[in-house]
Amino acid sequence: MKQGLLTDRQKEVLRYRKKGLTQQQIAEIIHTSKANVCTIEKAAIENISRARETLEFLYTLDAIHLCTLKSGLDLLKAPELIYAEAEKQGLKVKYDTISLINRLRDANPERFSGRQVREDVEIYINKDGDLYFG
Amino acid sequence: MKQGLLTDRQKEVLRYRKKGLTQQQIAEIIHTSKANVCTIEKAAIENISRARETLEFLYTLDAIHLCTLKSGLDLLKAPELIYAEAEKQGLKVKYDTISLINRLRDANPERFSGRQVREDVEIYINKDGDLYFG
DNA sequence: GCAAACTTAAACACTTTCCCTTAACCCATC
DNA sequence: GATGGGTTAAGGGAAAGTGTTTAAGTTTGC
């Protein structure tokens, strides 16, 4: 079975970048041109957003987009926002406040730090009131 | 910019499948063989798990390498190894023994056979004690 | 057992991606 | 203007992915 979308080269560049190295520095380390490093990094970012879009598609397969939890939002305020939007759509959310918060954190632990949303979270709902996050 | 990982053909098959159609029925609709529908569906599922793995990799970027589960290791001995290494790093693992073992096997089923590690598994940990495998 | 649903393997043409080079360009700051 | 960081475009060779067919193999339910 093949691994993820990113090639070894792409992962390598992303790791060095994460450490704060410039493209020029990376180019010297991996023995190529800085233009090439740029291209590889760009391809990696492209692949990452393709991966995101792919999973988005899955949710849209049986769910509709409900709302977005914007970066910085208090996690405890998410439920009322979600309930309000669901009501607009004439749908009933399957989870109560507590389990909704748990589900949010469990499904995407890396997107929250403490009570705060670290990164935009898309909320999807299907006819059964199931929620999905993207 | 390219779209997600799934081709139009793959999305088409997944949508019909979601509706409950058999591969044979889909084959007739899209004018090809059922074997081909099977292949396309399989490729779609494969692409979806590649997308998931790709995003998993992103999390390991925020994480540091903790240790390696060497091929041949008894899976039941992994937790104590991991706990010990995490303590050295001053980090607390987020999972208890049972859920850690489950998470190991669920994340990479093909790398374990029974209680044994079949292939080296790299363990990463982030500041929150989340574990990732590479 | 039988049939329907599903899976797999091999092979093929076709397309796309990947890494690389070279050469140019933008945009800050000094 | 020069320097450093980053980006873009064009092109090429190797590798991988896609859809397809044919043919064989499971698995599942009646």
ipTM of the complex: 0.71
Residue A2 lies in a domain: no
- Checking if the pLDDT of A45 tops 60, the result is yes
Closest residue to C4 measured CA to C1′:
B24
Write the CA distances from A74 to A65, A78, A116, integer angstroms.
20, 7, 5
CA nearest to B41, candidates B22, B58, B60: B22
Over residues A32-48, the mean pLDDT reads 95
A-B CB pairs within 8 A amount to 72
Q: Rounded to an integer, what distance in angstroms lies between the CA atom of residue A53 and that of residue A48?
A: 9
A46 with B1: Cβ contact below 8 A: yes
- Residue B97, CB-side half-sphere exposure with 13 Å CA sphere: 8
A110 with B51: Cβ contact below 8 A: no
Between B128 and A4, the more confident residue is A4
Residues A89-116: tens digit of each pLDDT: 999 998 889 888 888 887 666 678 778 8
Task: List Cβ neighbours of B83 (8 Å cut-off, separation of 6 or more).
Answer: B93
Task: List Cβ neighbours of B45 (8 Å cut-off, separation of 6 or more).
Answer: none
Does A77 lie in the same domain as A52? no
Residue B2 lies in a domain: no
- Checking if the pLDDT of A1 tops 70, the result is no
In tens digits, chain B (134 residues) has pLDDT values of 567 899 999 999 999 998 889 899 999 999 999 999 999 999 999 999 999 999 988 888 888 889 999 988 998 999 999 999 999 999 999 898 988 888 887 776 667 777 888 878 889 898 878 888 86
Q: Rounded to an integer, what distance in angstroms lies between the CA atom of residue A17 and that of residue A26?
A: 8
Does A48 lie in the same domain as A99? no
C-alpha B130 chain-centroid distance: 15
- Checking if the pLDDT of A4 tops 60, the result is yes
The tokens describing B67, both together, are 């240790």
Q: What domain count does chain A have?
A: 2
Coil/strand/helix, residue A65: strand
Distance from CA of B106 to the nearest CA of A (A): 15
> pTM higher than 0.90 for the full model?
no
Chain A contact probe: residue of B49, B57, B111 with most A CBs at under 10 A: B57
Does B88 lie in the same domain as B67? yes
How does the average pLDDT of chain A come out, rounded?
88
Distance B62 CA to D11 C1' (A): 37
A2 with B46: Cβ contact below 8 A: yes
Find the domain containing A124 and state its range: 63-133
